[in-house]
């Protein structure tokens, strides 16, 4: 898993020398450029005045697994692109952290464990399944099967690379939902890394809000 900031809005004209929070503040002031911009942006966020936050954007390159990329693309306000297995070879497989089902929330999990299934640890069975899936995929390709068909037998832990771009407003919406404890851990880890990158870009804003609990919006 990896998250990398690859692009961001760059101001032009009188905005060319401004930082991200300064651009947001200037938009909120209808073009006026003043001091103490961080305070104004925090006010906008805390009072849910979102429209000025829609005018700066950030793009990220994310390395994850296909089960998580599918969840990321459910945030339809983001623009996204994914490594296509119709044309390219699989990038490998991510390790699966096997966790217990949450006692009260069947969509969530708790601690890692390695149950015995039959007489075999679950981790060994998972490794065997992934290996056999990869071997079958390669056999299908060698037999002339199209990649767009052969890919269907690959497990959801197959590695993928995606690119997403969204406004600050859209990305805050993602953090708000995906930093909550009910989110799958792997997605929550990605949201945390996105938040850390945004904090580097707008430190005077993110250092003053409790964004890591997913409840600031």
- Is the pLDDT at 152 greater than 60? The verdict is yes
The domain defined by 7-62+166-213 carries CATH number 3.30.1360.170: yes
Q: Which of 42, 65, 169, 178 is catalytic?
A: 178
For the chain, the structural domain boundaries read 7-62+166-213, 99-153
C-alpha 169/C-alpha 176 separation (Å) is: 10
178 is catalytic: yes
Of 78, 87, 84, nearest to 66 by C-alpha is 84
Q: What is the pLDDT of residues 110-132, one digit of tens each?
A: 899 999 999 999 999 999 999 99
The pTM is what?
A: 0.90
Q: What is the pLDDT of residues 9-27, one digit of tens each?
A: 877 887 877 888 888 888 8
């Amino acid at each position: 898993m990896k998250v990398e900031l690859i692009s961001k809005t760059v101001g032009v004209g009188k905005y060319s020398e401004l930082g991200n929070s300064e651009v947001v503040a200037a938009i909120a002031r209808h073009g006026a450029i003043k001091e103490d911009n961080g305070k104004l942006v925090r006010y906008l966020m805390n009072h849910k005045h979102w429209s000025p936050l829609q005018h700066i954007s950030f793009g990220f390159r994310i390395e994850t697994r296909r089960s998580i990329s599918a969840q990321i693309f459910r945030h339809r306000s983001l623009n996204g692109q994914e490594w296509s297995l119709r044309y390219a070879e699989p990038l490998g497989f991510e390790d699966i952290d096997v966790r217990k089902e949450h006692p009260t929330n069947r969509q969530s999990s708790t601690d890692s464990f390695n149950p015995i299934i039959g007489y075999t640890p679950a981790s060994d069975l998972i490794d065997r399944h992934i290996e056999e899936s990869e071997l079958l995929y390669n056999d299908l390709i060698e037999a002339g099967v199209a990649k767009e068909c052969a890919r269907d037998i690959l497990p959801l832990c197959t590695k993928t690379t995606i690119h997403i771009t969204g406004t600050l407003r859209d990305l805050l919406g993602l953090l708000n939902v995906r930093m909550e404890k009910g989110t799958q851990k792997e997605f929550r880890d990605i949201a945390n890394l996105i938040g850390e990158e945004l904090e580097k870009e707008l430190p005077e804003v993110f250092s003053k809000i409790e964004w890591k609990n997913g409840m600031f919006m």
